[in-house]
Structure 1
Amino acid sequence: MRSAHEGPDWEPALDGLAARVIGARAADVTFEWLDGPGRRFSYSATQGQLTVRATGPGSAAVGLHDYLRRHCGTAVSWDDPRPPGPRWLPDAPPTERSAHVTETYYLNFCTFSYTSAWWDWEQWEREIDWMALHGITTPLMMVGHEAVIERVLLDEGLEPAAVSGFLSGPAYLPFLAMGNLDGFAGPLPDGWIPARRKLAGQILQRQRDLGMRPVLPAFTGHVPAELAAGRGSSREWQGHRTQVIGPEDPLFRRLAASTVHVQQELWGTDHRYASDPFIEMVPVEDDPDYPGRVAEALLAGLTDADRQAVWFLQCWPFAYQSDFWTEERVRAFLEAIPDERLVLLDLWAEEAPQWRRFDGFAGRGWMWCALLNFGGRNDPLADLPGLDQELDRALGSENPPVGIGLSMEATGTAPAYFERLLDLTWRDAPPLGDWLREWAAQRYRLPAGPVLEDATAAWHGLASTVLASGDLRIFPEDFTGLITQRPELDLFSSPNRLRHEVSELLWYKPTTLADAWRSLVAVGEAAPERAAGALGHDLAEVASAVLPRYAELCFLAAFDPASDRQDDDGARFFAVLEDLERLLGTRAELRYDTWERAAARWATSPEDERALADNARRLVTVWGDVGDGRLDDYSARLWAGLISYYRDRWRLWADAHRHTSDDGTGKHLEAALRRREHAFLRDGPAPLPAGGDVVAESRRLVDRYADAFCDEVQRFRANLPAGRAGTHPKMGTDR
């Protein structure tokens, strides 16, 4: 029942959130103000009535979720966004928590391509609820930005056909917004722009109702060729030529202001704007002062339209192109922006922390962000222990961050890593070992007992193997696995290279990982009703940690000239791929056809459907044009429907490998690969069978492969070249 006092103005929004998350029991929850500064919440429950007090709606949502996790044993996750609500609200003693930082940032421009390109309102509504319950205050929001670009360019007098030719295909719109390309994989489907404009309004309204202040895209200097004629400069990114206008050109400032004006007209503003004029593209002028002049012109345009404008700048270029972005250039760039107008996003702080390089950014406001996931690759790799250490170091520094962020290029992979980061945002988070037990109990809704012990053992095993990657750099430009890479005929031309790369991904004790897999399968068999949610996802994910590594070892045994076992023509390798695909097919989120069907929902004609299918297929395979050799498999996924695509390419390689003495074999292989890639873009994958039972498939595979994996690792390590066996700094010493 409601208390008699008048509640906070955000109470209705929290009531709605509670109703979506816990159903009928939402009537037993009261939200009240909590006086004081910062992000804080408190709650208590007695006789089935829960009272949550908070300094704002975002903190209230975290308080509600904290209660559900700690006292109802259930958590809202990416993999289980609507778990069953509690039948009764159990008593809870007074509990109060506060945040380390004032802001929690979320998303990356690329996420709107690699994850949410095809989301509708139902998916966004669940995602926004997830954001609120996890304390997100500052989400990047670029849905519908193509409507802004269209309006701005039409107002500049461009013909509709020129504007349409500038806009990219739907899956590539984030890269258009960042200025990396224009026109690629377009045009947009009929009706796309008005539909997405409406969806953007729904998203922004809900985010604001729940206390978030979204960040909207801003101008970068990137313009159509028609506007750049005689006044712009050309630049290149991954083979795409684009045009930018100089900061001294009045058009630069005018377009920067116009972009904000149109956003205000369509959706209002929270005075926060994201622009990265040099994202993976060095400035078109070598003058060290040039970046600063760009900053001044951009900020002038922003403030012409919004006197309260604050610029959110990703520090990715400083890490990715560190040779160019010297201390002198970075200082000249940042000093052109008043401190109160700038928030820096240290985008890859878990791997390449720029705050340490630039001494906490000299006291400017900055956020410590974890990237981890590139392109939507879903190999379960992370460094949970290192996360605690890196974040503690930042929070304890002389110039600590004002915020903590999740800046992954795609969501859904390694959820424990990001959930741990979100919990560390709040004070009094338990130590990692205790947290893993709580995580397992809440994620699978398990009471104390043998099943929870199995789940806890599984997560401790994962956290000491694949989720303890230490100094291994998780980055697509490094070796991240054999299955998804485009085959090269000369794979063994450099002696021991592939063996070295495979060994780098086997830093842990394989028996520990195999035991974790067995424990999780035991949980699935004891609690099969949980397999439809997060447990089923985790069963598929732990298998995705084991089977690709085993497949690589089988590949080496069959094809490496140094192997003494070349006797099966890769039969074991191909069998593992088929088994992995069968398991992945049991999970809708790990099936390629789920992705393409979501894209097709936005079609209003057969022509649109073909264009959307092309975008969906292209992004996760060749990325650009077939054979361009640039971003092939950057967004590679271990998905049912894609595994068979990778398998077909490796069969072509195996056939060519058997005939390497023939002249022109390399050209024949390249031609065959291109034919296969064109066929996938044209036809998509072969139809997949119905889902199946993830628990039964997991049992079949763990029995078939767990011991074989350990044995193969032992054999592999015993035959590493002299000086390699057992010398990897993280390599386990048992089998």
Structure 2
Amino acid sequence: MSNLHGWGGPLPQSWLDQQLVLQKKILVRIYELGMNPVLPAFSGNVPAALQNVFPSAKITQLGNWFSVKSDPRWCCTYLLDATDPLFIEIGRAFIEQQLKEYGRTSHIYNCDTFDENTPPVDSPEYISSLGAAIYSGMQSGDSDAVWLMQGWLFSYDPFWRPPQMKALLNSVPLGKLVVLDLFAEVKPIWSTSKQFYGVPYIWCMLHNFAGNIEMYGILDSIAFGPVEARTSENTTMAWINQYSVRRYGRSVPAIQDAWNVLYHTVYNCTDGATDKNRDVIVAFPDVDPSIISVTEGKYQNYGKPVSKEAVLKSETSSYDHPHLWYSTSEVIRALELFIASGNELSASNTYRYDLIDLTRQALAKYANELFLNIIEAYQLNDAHGVFQLSRRFLELVEDMDGLLACHDGFLLGPWLESAKQLAQNEEQEKQYEWNARTQITMWFDNTQEEASLLRDYGNKYWSGLLRDYYGPRAAIYFKYMIESLESGDGFRLKDWRREWIKLTNDWQNGRNVYPVESNGDALITSQWLYNKYLQGTGVFDH
């Protein structure tokens, strides 16, 4: 993405060599399958050291990308001016070297100069010259080059108004640029840009950010978005019924009913919101609990009906409240149908995965509401209530960790071990494991008092991570809540931050080994947790 100088490195030559070998194997297989691989092209981003080699080069420094303190070790990247003759020269050399290394090309090259970087100048003329230079660099190395560009920048950055967008898209000869409408299932740019101002485009779906684990989807949008119209009212439903048979190997009426429920709930998000999993367990709030408001409304609680709706809402932009777009009571009904089908399907690995995932989903939303109850008790100065409810929250986290341990697909161990297996010595093993742990927790840089701006972006519901990281983090927050009530003083936000950041950094540097094989019975565990937390309860329905 050209947003950083580097992070988590430096990478040893052995890793680079491994990646080159892997890349060549991938390309061979892609060609064997009759597919067209996409190779990178020069985007204009250069290291600062280029100025030492070419003192007269026109180089501009771009802005900060999510670094806490604009640390010069990571921030901010440099862009070679499109008007500099060196731009096309490097672009040509880049393509030629790839052709020499790989031996062949499909003539398609990706390049995303401003994926999440705002251009230094908003002049359409400047943007047009940059686009033309990028393509000229490709074409000078491959006369048949086609530029494949992500359209994410147009949905991400308000900088891209029609004049700027049109200038970039029309800077390349027609037919030589193809745009990926990357987030079309939620925010289709083709429909607001006169179909990318005449440039060919491909309808895409992003659907998941950073590999978060959450049941979510917009099935109708995916089914009908590419063709813009429904050909039959039952198209999606027919697919759903067939899917459950294909997935589990047999037809079970209760499971088909469950998938019908899921189609109308978790896989029917139509509120237009960007779904990044912000469940409290995996994306714990970093705000003073006194400013998380409880607003009036109607809902039915996980226990008894009441006439108050608790909605997570923060007065600070540092807190993203959980996204809920469906009736949780209906999803619990789907879980009941899944459990009831266990005797027929428990031998199916995919059934066990889905059963755990659905149980996890229901319990995660229950945890969000339980957290609200803790906040409400805190704001009522009820120290005993905070203590009791927070203890139940932490018990729930521990129980969910045990649930996730029942399937290989929800284990932390394989993630860490796969990173370490690339190492050729102990120091590399430490480095690779640190990177693997960092990606799913802090993600990027932090100070002792300021967490990464991308913390929890790559959150995961994995056994081991809940028990050793998410649970202890929540426990620290609850400790400071109780201390605040007992002392009569305000919540010590800075102290909380220092302690949980230290917890995170210590965990990032940890070397403890986690299981790579599952342990436990998925059906028995799901049934037990359903009985313990969900059976006979009402639900929070927005």
In the superposition, the TM-score normalised over structure 1's length comes to 0.64
User: How many angstroms apart in 2 are the aligned matches of 1:707 and 1:628?
Assistant: 38
Give the corresponding residue for 2:373. Answer: 557
Counterpart-to-counterpart distance in 1, 2:346 and 2:3: 46
Range with bigger deviation, 557-566 or 596-605: 557-566
Which residue among 521, 529, 533 is the counterpart of 1:693? Answer: 521
Residue deviations 1:268-295, cap 9 Å, x none? 2110111011111111223222221111
Supply the distance in 1 between the matched residues of 2:490 and 2:278 (Cα, whole angstroms): 31
| Closer, same or farther: CA 474–287 of 1 in aligned 2, 3 Å | closer
Provide the residue aligned with 1:585 in structure 2: 405
8 Å contact kept, 1:253–1:301 = yes
Give, in whole Å, the separation in 2 of the partners of 1:711 and 1:570: 20
Q: 1:683 aligns with which of 497, 500, 510?
A: 510
Q: Secondary structure at the match of 1:244?
A: strand
Q: Is the 8 A contact 1:466 1:545 kept in 2?
A: no
User: Is residue 2:137 matched to residue 1:313?
Assistant: no
Q: Is 2:285 the counterpart of 1:487? A: yes
Match of 1:463? Answer: 263
- Give RMSD over aligned pairs: 2.4
**1:255-294 correspondence runs (5 A):** 255-267=90-102, 268-294=104-130
Unmatched runs of 5 consecutive residues or more in structure 1: 1-177, 397-423, 718-730
Q: Secondary structure at the match of 2:36?
A: coil
- The 3 A distance-change label for structure 1 pair 429 and 596 is farther
Residue of structure 1 equivalent to 2:300: none
Judged with a 3 Å threshold, the aligned counterparts in structure 2 of structure 1 residues 428 and 307 are, in CA distance, closer, same or farther, namely farther
185, 188, 197: which one aligns with 2:20: 197
Matched, 1:653 2:477: yes
Percent identity at matched positions? 27
Q: Secondary structure at the match of 2:175?
A: helix
Deviations 1:452-490 (A, max 9, x none): 1122111111111211121151333xx732112243241
User: For residue 220 of structure 2, what is the amino acid of its counterpart?
Assistant: P
- Cα drift, residue 250 of structure 1: 2.0
**Partners of 2:81 and 2:126 in 1: how far apart?**
9
Q: Which residue of 2 is the match for residue 525 of structure 1?
A: 343
CA contact (8 A) 1:487 1:649 kept: no
**Match in the other structure for 1:367:** 202
| Cα gap change, 1:678 to 1:277, in 2 (>3 Å) | same
**Residues 170-189 of structure 1: matches in 2 within 5 Å?**
178-189=1-12
Within 5 Å, give how 1:326-337 maps onto structure 2. Answer: 326-337=161-172
Aligned to 1:670: 497
Distance 1:486 1:342, change over 3 A: same
SS in 1 for 2:124: coil
Q: 1:296 is aligned with what amino acid?
A: A
State the Cα distance separating 1:589 from its structure 2 match.
Answer: 2.5
- 5+ unaligned residues in a row in structure 2: which ranges? 68-74, 296-308, 314-320
User: Which SS does the other structure have where 2:509 is aligned?
Assistant: helix
For 1:504 and 1:570, locate their aligned partners in 2 and report how far apart those are by CA, in whole Å.
Answer: 18
* TM-score, with structure 2 as normaliser: 0.86
Residues 540 and 257 (structure 1), Cα distance of their counterparts in 2 relative to 1, 3 Å cut: farther
Answer yes or no: is the 8 Å Cα contact 1:487–1:650 preserved in 2: no
1:711 to 520, 526, 538: 538
Match of 2:43 in 1: 220
Change (3 A) 1:316 1:505: closer
Q: Which residue of 1 aligns with 2:334?
A: 516
Structure 2 CA distance for partners of 1:349 and 1:506, relative to 1, 3 Å: closer
Whole-Å separation in 2 of the counterparts to 1:687 and 1:203: 30
- d(CA) in 2 for partners of 1:510 and 1:429? 25
Q: Which amino acid aligns with 2:396?
A: V
- 1:562/1:674 CA distance change after superposition, 3 Å: closer
Q: Counterpart of 1:370 in 2: which secondary structure?
A: coil
CA distance in 1, matches of 2:59, 2:524: 60
Question: For the residues of structure 2 that align with 1:686 and 1:200, how far apart are their CA atoms?
Answer: 30
- Give 1:668 deviation, angstroms: 1.4
In 1, the alpha carbon distance for the partners of 2:118 and 2:155 equals 12
Matches within 5 A, 1:296-311: 296-311=132-147
Q: Measure how far apart 1:628 and its partner are.
A: 4.2
Deviations 1:215-239 (A, max 9, x none): 1122111111100455311112222
Contact kept in structure 1, 2:241 and 2:256, CA below 8 Å: yes
Q: 1:439 aligns with which of 240, 243, 250?
A: 243
Aligned residues: 497
Other-structure match for 1:53: none
Task: Check conservation: 2:115, 2:152, Cα contact below 8 A.
Answer: yes
Alpha carbons of structure 1 residues 385 and 295: separation in structure 2 relative to 1, 3 Å: same
